A = this chain, B = another copy of it.
Amino acid sequence: MAKNDAPKTAITPTRAEDYAEWYQQVVRAADLAESSPVRGCMVIKPWGYALWENIQRELDRMFKATGHKNAYFPLFIPKSFLEKEAEHVEGFAKECAIVTHHRLVAGPEGGLVPDPEAKLEEPLIVRPTSETIIGAAFASWVQSYRDLPLLINQWANVVRWELRTRLFLRTTEFLWQEGHTAHATEEEARAETMQMLDVYTTFAEEFMAMPVIKGPKTASERFPGAVDTFAIEAMMQDRKALQAGTSHFLGQNFAKASGIKFQTAKETEEYAWTTSWGVSTRLIGGLLMTHADDDGLILPPRLAPAHVVILPVLRGDDTKAKVMEYVDAVAAELRSTSYGGRPIEVEVDKRDIRGGDKQWEWIKKGAPIRIEIGPRDVDGNVVMVARRDRGTKDKATLGRAELVTKIPEILADIQSGLLAKAKQHRAANTKRIDDMKDFEKFFTAKNEDKPEIHGGFALAHWSGEPEVEAHLKDKFKVTIRCIPLSGIDGVADAKDLQEEGRCIVSGKPSRQRVVFAKSY
Interface residues of A (CB under 8 A from B): 34, 36-38, 41-46, 49-50, 52-53, 69-79, 81-83, 89, 93-105, 111-114, 123-126, 133, 136-137, 146, 152, 156-157, 159, 161, 173, 175, 351
Contacts and interface: CB of A to CB of B under 8 A. Distances in A.
Contact of A97 (B71, B99, B351): B99
A124 B69 CA distance: 33
Nearest to A103: B94
Within the oligomer, what is the number of copies of this chain? 2
Contact of A75 (B104, B124, B125, B159): B159
A340 to B, nearest CB: 19
A89 B161 CA distance: 26
6 contacts: A36-B133, A38-B77, A49-B72, A72-B175, A75-B173, A100-B100
A43 B159 CA distance: 19
B100 A112 contact: no
B49 A70 contact: yes
Contact of A46 (B71, B123, B173): B71
Contacts of A137: 34, 36, 43
A98 B89 contact: no
Contacts of A72: 43-44, 49, 52, 175
A36 B136 CA distance: 9
A112 B50 CA distance: 40
Contacts of A53: 70
B69 A50 contact: yes
Contacts of A97: 76, 99, 101-102, 124
A81 B37 CA distance: 10
5 interchain residue pairs of minimum CB distance: A41-B74, A46-B69, A93-B104, A44-B72, A102-B161
Given A36-B133, A126-B75, A83 B98 contact: no
A112 B93 contact: yes
Given A37-B133, A38-B77, A101-B123, 17 more contacts: A36-B74, A49-B71, A49-B72, A53-B70, A74-B173, A75-B157, A75-B173, A79-B112, A89-B112, A93-B105, A95-B102, A97-B124, A98-B104, A98-B114, A100-B100, A100-B101, A113-B123
A310 B351 CA distance: 52
Given A43-B137, A83-B111, A104-B79, A36 B73 contact: yes
Nearest to A351: B146
B98 A70 contact: no
Contacts of A81: 37
Contacts of A111: 79, 83
Nearest to A136: B37
Nearest to A106: B93
Contacts of A123: 101, 113-114
B75 A41 contact: yes
Contacts of A78: 37-38
A70 B46 contact: yes
A113 B98 CA distance: 10
Contact of A93 (B41, B77, B103): B103
B94 A114 contact: no
A30 to B, nearest CB: 14
A96 B105 contact: no
Contacts of A351: 146
B100 A71 contact: no
Contacts of A69: 46, 49-50
A351 B73 CA distance: 26
